[in-house]
Amino acid sequence: MAENSFSQLGLVGCGGAGFPTQVKLTANNVEALIVNAAECEPLLHKDKEILKHCTADFFKGLVTSIDATRAKAAHIGIKKKYSELIAYLEKAIPDKRIKLLPLGDFYPAGDEYELVYEATGKLIPYGGIPLNVGCVVMNVETLLNLGRNKPVTTKFLTITGQVPHPCTVEIPIGITIREALSIAGLTKLDGLKIIDGGPMMGKLVADPEIDVVSKTCGGLIALPVEHILIQKMTRGDHKNSRIARSACDQCTDCSELCPRALLGYPIRPHKAMRTAQLTPYAKSDYAIDSVFCSECGLCSLFSCPEDLPPREMCMISKRFHLGKGVKPAEFAGQPQVHPMRNARRVSIERLFKKLALLDYNHKAPLQQVTQRFEKVTLPLKMHIGAPVTPIVKVGDQVKVGQLIGAVPEGKLGAALHASISGKVTALTDRAITIARD
């Protein structure tokens, strides 16, 4: 498949910010192609379900990627604890260039800096990307979509938390969050809030009746409004800044356990907290190293004994400094792994306890979806780069898989396709709506 045909499929990284996949596939003579199958966010299972149930197409996509990038080897980073799945995959591997990379049960094992280090022993330079050390990191669902070799119109996600039937499903992109939750038997949302993504890095759904399942949604977690995670997620910058100013005793636990700091990057979240005590919203050069924060959330949700928000202060500080033109690549020095890294990594078991999620530790197996969805609303931007340009108009009939939004000439982006057949009923500067006839 040529780069052009990759870009026609609308492929993006399916878990994070939605980086257009065709760009990664233009890399050449790659040392190691690394599959992120770590799925280290508590409660989410969709990658494991894909590996178990869509094995052939996943491997087809992986072999296509290896060939496209001329990768010398491919490593599937997966937690050692999934021994049955590992044994199954070992037998199914179709190509001797592919190896399994068993990972410890830590958070954030799926961070690409961590994966690159575990797979190759190399550290991505300051402000760099995996390709700087000869690596490309891709996720499981992206490779599945590549292996299927057809436009991306559906999304796999785990629906869990306080729902009657936790499950993993494959559903059309663009249905509402409310419709998706109903598949897991959740119809009454009173007293609940919904997280789009994992508990560590997900974000709160503003309105389940309006917000839709996007190409990057990996999970929906329903939790009571009084749950500690929801309480923390509903605090805004103002409240976080006030808390940061009032209570941090500078114990430095947040910095000592920071996964990026343990890999050797110069991030010290307690400095962002100290800065917040002295200047509004941590906007001072003293916390300039916040630009190295991955926003993994470990400091705010696990490390801080006072339940304070160092991540949020780092994020404010990072935005401020990046906005001023600070470039992590221009920092002097090189990363060097902290000698205490192994001892200080945080296990998922401890994370479950600290996050008060043990009651929601469900299996969520893959379930066939029988519901027919009557309407979808497809955002023009579900990826890094420019929004797509609609190539349909209100009243047009479209078929599932038909191209309805094109990447603007010369821009970074991912094509958009109809996820159901029907008529275009609305077109705004943000989305295209399609309703079945």
Where along the sequence are the contacts to ligand SF4 (CB under 6 A)? 248-254, 258-260, 267, 269-270, 273, 293-299, 303-304, 306, 308, 310-311, 314
The nearer residue to ligand SF4, 57 or 256, going by C-beta atoms, is 256
Smallest gap, in angstroms, from Cβ of residue 297 to ligand SF4? 5
Residue 105 vs 179, nearer CB to ligand SF4 = 105
Q: Which residues pair with 33 in a beta bridge?
A: 74, 136
Q: For 237, phi and psi rounded to 5 degrees?
A: -55, -40
> Which lies closer to ligand SF4 via its Cβ, residue 118 or residue 306?
306
In the complex, the smallest distance separating the C-beta of residue 259 from ligand SF4, rounded to whole angstroms, is 6
Are 139 and 35 in contact by the 8 Å Cβ rule? The answer is yes
Distance CA 71, CA 64 (A): 10
Return the half-sphere exposure (C-beta side, CA atoms, 13 A cut-off) of residue 427: 13
Question: Residue 56, exposed/middle/buried by CB under 10 A (0-12, 13-18, 19+)?
Answer: exposed
Terminal Cα-to-Cα distance of the chain (whole angstroms): 35
Q: Which is nearer to ligand SF4, 148 or 354 (CB)?
A: 354
CB of 98 to ligand SF4, least distance (A): 30
| Sequence-distant (≥ 6) Cβ neighbours of residue 370 within 8 angstroms | none
Closer Cβ to ligand SF4, 56 or 337, answer by number: 337
Between 237-247 and 269-278, two packed helices, what is the crossing angle to 10 degrees? 90
Q: Which residues contact 323 (CB under 8 A, 6 or more apart)?
A: none
* Element containing residue 44 per DSSP (H, E): none
C-alpha pair distances (Å), 49 with each of 314, 420, 423: 34, 24, 33
Which lies closer to ligand SF4 via its Cβ, residue 305 or residue 325?
Answer: 305
Nearer to ligand SF4, 97 or 235 (CB): 235
The residues, ordered by sequence, that sit 6+ positions from 104 with a Cβ below 8 Å of its Cβ are 79, 80, 345, 347
Task: Give whichever of 26 and 250 is closer to ligand SF4, judged by the CB atom.
Answer: 250
List 172's β-bridge partners, or say none: 154
260 or 383: whose CB is closer to ligand SF4? 260
Cβ atoms of 290 and 272 within 8 Å: the answer is: yes
Q: What is the closest distance, in whole angstroms, from the C-beta atom of residue 78 to ligand SF4 in the complex?
A: 22
Sequence-distant (≥ 6) Cβ neighbours of residue 410 within 8 angstroms:
none
CB of 318 to ligand SF4, least distance (A): 9
Cβ closest to ligand SF4, residue 59 vs residue 113: 113
**Burial class, 87, CB count within 10 angstroms (exposed 0-12 / middle 13-18 / buried 19+):** exposed
**Residue 300 Cβ vs ligand SF4, minimum distance, rounded to whole Å:** 7
Cα 24 to Cα 136: distance, rounded to the nearest angstrom: 7
CA-based angle 175:180:181, to the nearest 5?
Answer: 150
| C-beta of 158 vs 303, nearer to ligand SF4 | 303
**Closest approach of Cβ 233 to ligand SF4, in Å?**
14
Instruction: Work out how close the CB of 108 gets to ligand SF4 at its nearest, in angstroms, rounded to a whole number.
Output: 8
List the 32-36 sheet strands across, edge first. 98-103, 73-79, 32-36, 135-139
Instruction: For residue 136, report the phi and psi dihedrals to the nearest 5 degrees.
Output: -125, 130
Is 32 strand, coil or helix?
Answer: strand
Nearer to ligand SF4 (CB atom), residue 194 or residue 299: 299
Distance separating alpha carbons of residues 236 and 206, to the nearest angstrom:
14
**Least CB distance to ligand SF4 at residue 257 (A):** 7
Distance, in Å, from the CA atom of 292 to the CA atom of 269, rounded to the nearest integer, reads 10
State how far the Cα of 357 lies from the Cα of 195, in Å rounded to an integer. 13
User: Least distance in Å: CB of 314 to ligand SF4?
Assistant: 5
- Minimal distance, residue 276 CB to ligand SF4, in Å: 9
Report the nearest approach of ligand SF4 to the CB of residue 265 (Å): 8
